[in-house]
Amino acid sequence: MLRYTLMRLGIFAGCFGLVWALVYAGLLPRGLGSSNGLWILLLAMVVSAPISFVVLRKQRDVASGQIVNRVDQAKAGFDRSARQEDHLVDLVEDAGPTRA
């Protein structure tokens, strides 16, 4: 999961640097007024998203498999806890009322 995230950030950083260079070289339009930084950031996000989608397909599948495994383990733990609780409730109910 961390590997996928770092690879995604690397692709974004590369696209950010490329877009920044193209804007300051005059090959891409500058933002309006003081919005130049935001324009570069937005354009880098738009460019890096499809690249990440295609290039990191295998890593994304591995990361999603890890997430599914963690969710399944958490569900199994909740189910075990619920069964233990149900068992204790059944024991108390079978014992009948107690007098203090």
Q: Residues 56, 8: contact at Cβ < 8 Å?
A: yes
Euclidean distance between the first and final Cα of the chain, in Å? 55
Q: Say whether pLDDT at 53 is over 70.
A: yes
Q: What is the pLDDT of residues 76-100, one digit of tens each?
A: 999 999 888 888 888 888 777 766 5
- Token pair for 43: 């354009």
pTM: 0.66
Q: What is the pLDDT of residues 1-30, one digit of tens each?
A: 788 899 999 999 999 999 999 988 888 888
> What is the distance between the alpha carbons of residues 87 and 3, in angstroms, rounded to a whole number?
42
Q: Which amino acid is at 76?
A: A
